[in-house]
């Protein structure tokens, strides 16, 4: 059984309203198993043509009785593949008007075969079969065209889909290339800063030793001098050396070679506590505002250094707003999945503090050099160029980083990222240095340093405090001295050639596990010193600072006893007068 659509394609439409022509034709077709449908009138024929058919057999008088405009219009608007066949049954009339009418039908209906009546059955059947066969070919062309259209549409869909896939792949590739360029640029910048940092750290280490000797000897000279004019000169030299020590400390911060004391801190509290200092430093022409994260995570950092970072950034922002503006300090939590997090940061959560201004902004050339030590855009004498380099060094040594977002004329935003603290309470230790007389004790202290000036200064300081001081040039000499000489304590530098202070002390402690010790350093470098180590005196140090540290190490029991004198027992019923 043919399908519904195929059934309509194969049927023969017959319109013969007069006589028995319709029944006769239908009978002949049925005997040949050709399906036919007899139409009532011209309108019925038009409707069935639009439904579909294989051929139409129409008598001449049927066209004369009805309006053929609808059928003629249907024929004129057939698709290109279609040429519908009509078989017109004519009479033997040969008048001029009949001839003209038949020619008109040939012209209007296009594919027309005319058969004179009475019909010969064979002629009718051959004409119908030939027309049906031609019509089937037309439908095959239609199906082929439809198949091509479907294939072309499918091909277009495939091309469109593939084009979209290629565009997405290209977009991902462009994004990966951009990210790779960004990472490469960050890596080159990091390598460049690392090389500069190593060079700067080495220079700062040497200067730190020189300044330790200079400041120490100046202090000893001041303590022993009596001439006020000479003391005035010594005070001037001391102030200049202290400024040099401050610059050296900034260089050490940039090179990540200074000793930090990281602890859990609340950045919101740090920013809030600095309010008065910032107002006094920044001035009244600049509006200061804060945007602080309500549920800020604790961060791990050295609180003193972070205060220096914020102050440095605020002062740079102030200098960029000569005519006034707005300075904003904000804090935020940065999750491990945050897409805005710098690529150089490892996995994990961070806490950020940002300082932004509405100042002049930076050019690309200035931005590339912003973290380099001694680079500054300020006039000569207005800055050292160590502020941002110090910020960079502190952030990197803490385990974070710094980013700068800037645009000429619109201002600058500098964000410092610090690692999030994993648990623990936030405590701030406040140390107050109280002037105290220098105590004298009978004890032998071994001074270990590869720098002869620093070594001799430390010996002189200890001797001025009443201690017996011995000197060892480097770690190897110190290890040998421990086995041959009575020593009550070791004062040892950390950064030394061949054997650093940490390694040398570890060897000495194997021989003398109970040996008291005190590190002295202004440059940590590549050592295994525990960050939580408290028995450290920083270079350059004063005689008073050295005395306090030595007392703390040599006489911890006496220190605890002195501290316990401040504890009073309150008895029930007692009254304070």
DSSP string, 135-158: HHHHHHHHHHHHHHHHHHHHHHHH
Residue 322's Cα: distance from chain center in Å? Answer: 33
3-state SS assignment for residue 403? strand
Q: For residue 171, what are the CA distances in angstroms to 70, 184, 185, 339, 565?
A: 57, 19, 21, 18, 73
Domain 444-564 annotated CATH 3.40.50.2300? yes
Residue with tokens 């500054």: 376
Tens-level pLDDT at each residue, the chain (577 residues): 456 677 888 899 999 988 888 888 888 888 888 899 999 999 999 999 999 999 999 998 888 877 888 999 999 999 999 999 999 998 877 788 888 888 888 888 889 998 888 878 888 889 999 999 999 999 899 889 888 888 988 888 899 899 999 999 999 898 888 878 776 766 666 666 566 555 555 565 666 666 677 777 777 777 766 677 676 667 777 777 666 665 566 555 444 445 567 789 999 999 988 888 888 778 778 888 889 998 999 998 888 888 888 888 888 888 888 888 899 999 999 998 888 888 788 778 999 999 999 988 888 888 887 777 766 666 544 555 566 777 888 888 888 888 999 999 889 999 999 999 986 455 544 443 343 444 556 788 999 998 888 888 888 888 888 888 999 998 888 888 887 788 889 999 888 888 888 888 999 898 888 889 998 876 655 555 666 677 888 878 888 888 888 888 887 755 444 444 443 333 334 344 3
Residue with tokens 């701030």: 428
| Domain ranges for the chain | 4-119, 262-368+378-419, 444-564
* CA-based R_g, the chain, Å: 51
Residue with tokens 């001081």: 469
Cβ density class 511-521: b for 16+ within 10 Å, e for less = eeeebbbbbbb
- Measured N-to-C along each axis, helices 303-320 and 387-398 cross at an angle, to the nearest 10 degrees, of 150
425's CB contacts (< 8 A; 6+ apart) are 264
Which residues are paired to 326 by β-bridges? 287
Alpha carbon distance 363, 498 (integer Å): 45
Could you please report the per-residue DSSP string of 348-380? S-EEEEEEEE-S----HHHHHHTTSTT---SPT
Alpha carbon distance 65, 43 (integer Å): 11
Q: Nearest to residue 37, comparing CAs of 21, 28, 48, 47? A: 48
Strands 517-521 and 536-538: parallel
**Cα diameter, the chain:** 156
Alpha carbon distance 146, 143 (integer Å): 5
Alpha carbon distance 514, 483 (integer Å): 14
Tokens of 170: 């290209």
Q: Domain 262-368+378-419, what fold?
A: Heat Shock Protein 90 (3.30.565)
Question: Which bin fits 63, alpha (ψ -120 to 50), beta or left (φ > 0)?
Answer: alpha
Domain 4-119 annotated CATH 3.40.50.300? no
Are 4-119 and 444-564 the same fold in CATH?
Answer: yes
Which residues are paired to 352 by β-bridges? 332, 417
Cβ distance 14 to 37 under 8 Å? yes
Which H helix or E strand runs over 312?
Answer: helix 303-320
Helices (H) then strands (E): counts for the chain: 18, 17
User: What does the pLDDT read at residue 201?
Assistant: 55
Query: How long is the chain?
Result: 577
Q: Residue 337: how many CB atoms within 10 A of its CB?
A: 8
Q: Where are the beta strands (DSSP E) in 85-216?
A: 86-90, 112-116
Q: For residue 274, what are the CA distances in angstroms to 34, 278, 352, 566?
A: 104, 6, 17, 31
Tokens of 494: 């950390």
User: What does the pLDDT read at residue 436?
Assistant: 45
Alpha carbon distance 112, 102 (integer Å): 10
Alpha carbon distance 257, 393 (integer Å): 9
Which residues are paired to 357 by β-bridges? 327, 412
């Amino acid at each position: 059984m043919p399908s519904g659509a195929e059934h309509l394609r194969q049927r023969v439409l017959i319109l013969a309203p007069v006589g028995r022509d319709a029944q006769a034709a239908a009978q002949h077709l049925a005997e040949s198993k050709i399906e036919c449908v007899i139409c009532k009138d011209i309108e019925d024929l038009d409707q069935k043509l639009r439904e579909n058919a294989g051929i139409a057999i129409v008598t001449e008088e049927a066209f004369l009785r009805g309006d053929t405009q609808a059928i003629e219009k249907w024929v004129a608007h057939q698709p290109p593949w279609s040429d519908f066949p009509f078989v017109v049954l004519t009479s033997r009339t040969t008048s001029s008007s009949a001839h003209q009418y038949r020619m008109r039908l040939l012209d209007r209906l296009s594919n027309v075969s005319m058969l004179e009546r009475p019909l010969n059955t064979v002629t009718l059947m051959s004409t119908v079969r030939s027309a049906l066969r031609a019509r089937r070919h037309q439908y095959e062309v239609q199906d082929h065209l439809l198949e091509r259209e479907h294939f072309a549409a499918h091909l277009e869909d495939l091309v469109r889909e593939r084009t979209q896939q290629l565009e997405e792949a290209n977009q991902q590739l462009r994004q990966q290339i951009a990210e790779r360029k960004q990472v490469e640029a960050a890596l080159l910048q990091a390598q460049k800063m690392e090389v500069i940092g190593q060079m700067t750290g080495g220079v700062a280490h040497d200067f730190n030793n020189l300044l330790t000797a200079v400041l120490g000897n100046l202090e000893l000279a001041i303590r022993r001098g009596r001439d006020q004019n000479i003391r005035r000169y010594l005070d001037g030299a001391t102030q200049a050396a202290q400024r040099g020590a401050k610059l050296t400390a900034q260089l050490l911060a940039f090179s990540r070679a200074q000793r930090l004391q990281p602890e859990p801190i609340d950045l919101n509290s740090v920013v809030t506590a600095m309010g008065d200092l910032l107002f006094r430093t920044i001035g009244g022409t600049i509006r200061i505002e804060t945007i602080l994260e309500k549920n800020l995570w604790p961060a791990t950092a050295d609180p003193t250094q972070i205060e220096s970072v914020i102050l440095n950034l605020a002062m740079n922002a102030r200098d960029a707003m000569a005519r006034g503006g707005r300075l904003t300090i904000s804090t935020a939590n940065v999750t491990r999945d945050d897409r805005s997090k710098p690529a150089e940061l490892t996995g994990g959560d961070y806490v950020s503090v940002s300082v932004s201004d509405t100042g002049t902004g930076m050019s690309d050339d200035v931005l590339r050099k912003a973290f380099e030590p001694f680079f500054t855009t300020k006039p000569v004498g207005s800055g050292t160029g160590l502020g941002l380099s110090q910020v960079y060094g502190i952030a990197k040594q803490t385990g974070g980083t710094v980013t700068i977002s800037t645009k000429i004329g619109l201002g600058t935003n500098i964000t410092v990222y610090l690692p999030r603290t994993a648990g623990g309470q936030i405590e701030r230790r406040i140390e107050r240095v109280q002037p105290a007389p220098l105590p004298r004790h009978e004890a032998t202290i071994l001074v270990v340093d590869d720098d002869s000036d620093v070594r001799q200064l430390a010996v002189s300081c200890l001797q001025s405090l009443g201690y017996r001081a011995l000197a060892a040039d480097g770690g190897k000499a110190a290890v040998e001295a421990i086995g041959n000489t009575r020593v009550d304590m070791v004062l040892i530098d950390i950064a030394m050639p061949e054997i650093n202070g940490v390694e040398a002390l570890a060897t000495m402690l194997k021989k003398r596990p109970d040996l008291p010790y005190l590190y002295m350093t202004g440059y940590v470098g590549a050592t295994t010193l525990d960050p939580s180590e408290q028995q450290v005196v920083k270079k350059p140090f004063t005689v008073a600072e050295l005395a306090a540290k030595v007392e703390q190490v040599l006489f911890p029991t006496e220190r605890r006893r002195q501290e316990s004198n401040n504890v009073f027992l309150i008895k029930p019923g007692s009254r304070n007068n």
